[in-house]
């Protein structure tokens, strides 16, 4: 392709190459009106996503229809403002929490609102549907639906349910163009005090990012590796990267 381009062609050419906001119009030094308003709309959607509540009943119905039992839990956070200001409380179970399992299990799955209830509402059921058949042979604790939850709330939940590992599917911090991105965090031997370095993460799960099947495949691989080798975190991450290199999924796996 040659390089004789009008400014309009150039903008289109650049925009075809990245999701970044390149090739924007200009009025003097300022951005053009349409671009300013488009940005404001995207930001409004992201802000609304942060402050939206999870419809736990609807999610529970979806979980049951996939053949899973479910439990409910909440963190010690009373409201959204406190959630944003006190991550420590979002990692602690509410005082009246009573979680019990019938017996020990290989894996506990937690569906957590995190910073985007919209993400877990929309993407957790289809991801769970894609993941469940890949977990054959493993014993599963009931799925826990957790409100006002941080990733590390999975640690006391997994411990209470006597699970060897806990998988937290949680709404990620909304980006301007991704208000509904789901993250998956896997922790072996969950208990309070685990650090992020002891977890594995698969992020940006949504149809426009990492698709359900690709994410489920990667998560299932991590779960089996974690249970076989008795660890998650930095030690496991390198190996999963290697597999991704050898068997490219065609999708990006970001890190948080």
Partner 1 sequence: MANQRWPFPDLKTLMAKASPLRSGDALAGLSAGSLEESVAARMALADVPLKRFLAEPLVDYDTDEVTRLICDTHDAGVFAPIAALTVGDFRDFLLSDAADAPTLAALAPGLTPEMVAAVCKIMRNQDLILAGSKPKVTTRFRNTLGLPGRLSTRLQPNHPTDDPAGVAAAIIDGLLLGSGDAVIGINPASDSPVVIGELLRLLDEIIHEGAIPTQACVLTHVTATLDLIERGAPVDLVFQSIAGTEAANASFGVSLSLLAEAREAALGLKRGALGDNVMYFETGQGSCLSAGAHHGVDQQTLEARAYAVARAFDPLLVNTVVGFIGPEYLYDGKQIIRAGLEDHFCGKLLGLPMGCDVCYTNHAEADQDDMDVLLTLLAAAGVTFVMGVPGADDVMLNYQSTSFHDALYVRRLLGLKPAPEFEAWLVGAGLADEAGRPLPPPSRLKLLERLDGL
**Residues at the contact surface with partner 1, assessed by CB under 8 A:** 1, 3-7, 10, 13-15, 17-24, 26, 28-31, 35, 39-40, 42-43, 46-47, 49-50, 84-88, 115, 172-178, 181, 204, 241, 252, 254-255
CB contact at 8 A, 109 and 144: yes
Nearer to partner 1, 164 or 218 (CB): 218
Those residues whose C-beta lies under 8 Å from the C-beta of residue 104, and which sit 6 or more positions away, are 139, 162, 163, 164
Tell me how far, at minimum, the Cβ of 117 lies from partner 1, in Å: 13
Selection from 146, 193, 145, 188 nearest residue 167 by Cα: 188
d(CA 81, CA 144): 23
What is the closest distance, in whole angstroms, from the C-beta atom of residue 50 to partner 1 in the complex? 5
Nearer to partner 1, 76 or 227 (CB): 76
Nearer to partner 1, 164 or 199 (CB): 199
CB atoms within 10 A of CB 103: 8
Whose CA is closest to 212, among 150, 141, 144, 125? 125
CB of 38 to partner 1, least distance (A): 9
Cβ-based nearer residue to partner 1, 69 or 81: 81
| Residue 207 token pair | 């149809």
Smallest separation, CB 58 to partner 1 (Å): 23
| Count of beta carbons in the 10 Å neighbourhood of residue 209 | 20
Q: Which is nearer to partner 1, 116 or 232 (CB)?
A: 116
* Separation CA 141–CA 100 (nearest Å): 10
Find where tokens 């014993």 sit. Answer: 139
Least separation in angstroms between residue 46's CB and partner 1 is 4
């Amino acid at each position: 392709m040659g390089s004789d381009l009008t400014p309009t062609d150039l903008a289109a050419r650049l925009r075809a190459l990245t999701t970044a906001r390149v090739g924007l119009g200009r009025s003097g030094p300022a951005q053009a009106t349409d671009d300013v308003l488009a940005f404001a709309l995207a930001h409004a959607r992201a802000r609304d996503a942060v402050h939206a509540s999870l419809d736990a009943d609807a999610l529970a119905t979806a979980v049951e229809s996939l053949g899973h039992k479910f439990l409910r839990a909440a963190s010690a956070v009373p409201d959204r403002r406190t959630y944003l200001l006190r991550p420590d409380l979002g990692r602690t179970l509410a005082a009246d929490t009573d979680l019990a399992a019938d017996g020990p299990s290989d894996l506990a799955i937690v569906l957590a609102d995190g910073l985007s209830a919209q993400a877990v509402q929309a993407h957790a059921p289809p991801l769970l549907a894609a993941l469940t058949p890949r977990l054959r042979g493993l014993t599963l604790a009931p799925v826990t639906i957790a409100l006002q939850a941080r990733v590390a709330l999975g640690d006391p939940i997994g411990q209470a349910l006597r699970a060897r590992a806990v998988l937290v599917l949680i709404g990620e911090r909304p980006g301007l163009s991704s208000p509904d991105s789901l993250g998956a965090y896997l922790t072996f031997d969950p208990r309070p005090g685990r650090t992020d370095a002891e977890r594995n993460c698969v992020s940006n799960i949504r149809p426009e990012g990492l698709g359900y099947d690709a994410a489920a495949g990667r998560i299932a691989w991590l779960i089996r590796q974690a249970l076989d080798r008795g660890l998650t975190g930095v030690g496991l991450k390198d190996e999963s990267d290697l597999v991704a290199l050898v068997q490219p999924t065609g999708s990006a796996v970001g890190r948080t």
